[in-house]
Amino acid sequence: MGMPITVEVVTGATDEIIEGVFKYFQKIDEQFSTYKPTSEISKINNGLPKSKWTKQMELIFSLCEETKALSNGYFDINHKGKIDPSGLVKGWAIYNAAQLLEGEGVKDFYIEAGGDIQVNGKNADNKAWEVGIRNPFNIDEIIKVVHLKTEGMATSGSYIRGQHIYNPHQPDQEIVDVASLSIIAANVYEADRFATAAFAMGKQGIIFIEQMPGLEGYMVDEDGIATYSSGFERYVTGNV
């Protein structure tokens, strides 16, 4: 969906397996891209009746409604008369791609799409995967490195794509008090959907993450001050 995708496998994957992963992402792009007039989501925005939706689309809409309820309405795929489930689909697709690799017996891998990441096993140095969090005010600088083994991580912010996340409760106001928010969860699907929702909350988002079981977060506000949840530090030290 307009974002670069990286798949790194340490051992055990044939070219055919890797190609299958990229074909899967291409299929997801063809179905959910809001930039392609031939995609199913574009057709829905142009009036395709629900009776003609695919089962997969119905599933995504159900997951989006679930996320909306869990986030007190801060995750909302409806905006200015259009529907865009990208805030959930990307992480969901990465998670499914990881399942494809695991199904083929691949144990040590790293998948990234647009900054959202799923890892498993160990890297080429036989250590936990190291993932850097960018400085939202200088994207060439890494301000924090975390160690992941089986988790997923997602970052929401406006420093690369501009204001693409909005607060559904105040849709006409830009979110300016938070520069970036990174979430670590059991998998990238959980990380991605709640990173989107928490960022929409502004500075209150890190409090929401603190209260959600299984989630850890690292927020950088508009002044460059970092705030992180109580369990986040263990990923920095590698004690995971």
Q: What pLDDT digit, counting tens, does each position of 11-27 carry?
A: 889 999 999 999 999 99
Q: Which long-range contacts (CB under 8 A, 24 or more apart) does 36-41 make?
A: 41/83, 41/84, 41/85
Q: CA dist 74 to 41, 93, 167, Å?
A: 21, 21, 6
What is the distance of C-alpha 42 from the center of its chain? 21
pLDDT mean across residues, the chain: 93
Mean pLDDT of 1-12: 87
Task: Look at residues 175, 182, 191 and name the one whose alpha carbon lies nearest to residue 155.
Answer: 182
Chain position carrying tokens 């970092």: 226
Domains, the chain, ranges and CATH? 5-237 (3.10.520.10)
pLDDT digits (tens, 9 = 90+) for 85-124: 999 999 999 999 999 999 999 999 999 998 899 999 999 9
pLDDT digits (tens, 9 = 90+) for 61-80: 999 999 999 999 999 999 88
Give yes or no for a contact between 151 and 171, defined as CB atoms under 8 angstroms apart. no
Task: Look at residues 228, 78, 97, 235 and name the one whose alpha carbon lies nearest to residue 166.
Answer: 78
Does pLDDT of 239 surpass 70? no
Mean pLDDT of 189-197: 97
Between vectors from CA 233 to CA 222 and to CA 165, what angle results, nearest 5°? 35
- Span between the terminal Cα atoms of the chain, in Å: 32
